[in-house]
Structure 1
């Protein structure tokens, strides 16, 4: 089931404790654009199908990444794209957005997404996996 735009943003705003919807939207756009560069094929399409259309389009037309970034570099890249962000605030942004994504997609699809990502992303999604 696809979350509506307002509902998705509302969840991100709550999780990230953002003062405005604009802040939540900016974080969601940057994180999903970076995430889209890390996912390929059917998995990216399945994730996009569960997101509101505006965010699905961002995911399907991602920023280009030469290689999958380890989680700490993903956070640094997020910080670079959000004006005034630090690694600490970017970690917060990434976790707020990806935890909402994890809740929206369910465990089966999340497991498939994590298989395409470097080790450690489970923590960014707020779903630590047993080692």
Structure 2
């Protein structure tokens, strides 16, 4: 049995249909880093606590973003963090990582995260609306 991190990456790999664990990890690191910059307060810390340990610095270390990003701008920010990414591949990566995250964390926390982010993020987390 693998570690919680390996299990998380395996779920992202499956959901994102990546051919290697390295691709899943690259997507996870980029998306978590971008997300960490856009969450503040207790939600950021609670999310880090509910995910595998390697996610914690990705979520907690980025400096807070100066302005909230719309979902399309968030995807573009992810694209900038992944060498060779396009808007389409970054959208795919974001959906694979965030929908996996959404399935693993407390649903009340997910609701609070979606309330904190600008409107329109729910589909990135694999949800049609606030939970």
Q: Which runs of 5+ in 1 are unaligned?
A: none
Give TM-score scaled by structure 2 length: 0.93
Aligned residue for 1:53, secondary structure, equals coil
> Alpha carbon RMSD of aligned pairs, Å?
1.3
- Per-residue CA deviation, residues 47-106 of structure 1 (Å, 9 max, x unaligned), is 001111111121011254221110000001111111111100100000000001100113
Q: Deviations over 1:95-122 (max 9, x none)?
A: 0000011001132110000011000100
Write out the 4+ residue segments of structure 1 that deviate beyond 2 Å after TM superposition.
none
Secondary structure at the aligned position of 1:124 is classed as helix
Q: Match of 2:45?
A: 45
TM-score (ref. length: structure 1): 0.93
Structure 2, unmatched stretches of 5+, are none
Residue 110 of structure 1 corresponds to: 110
For the residues of structure 2 that align with 1:62 and 1:30, how far apart are their CA atoms?
11
Number of matched pairs: 128
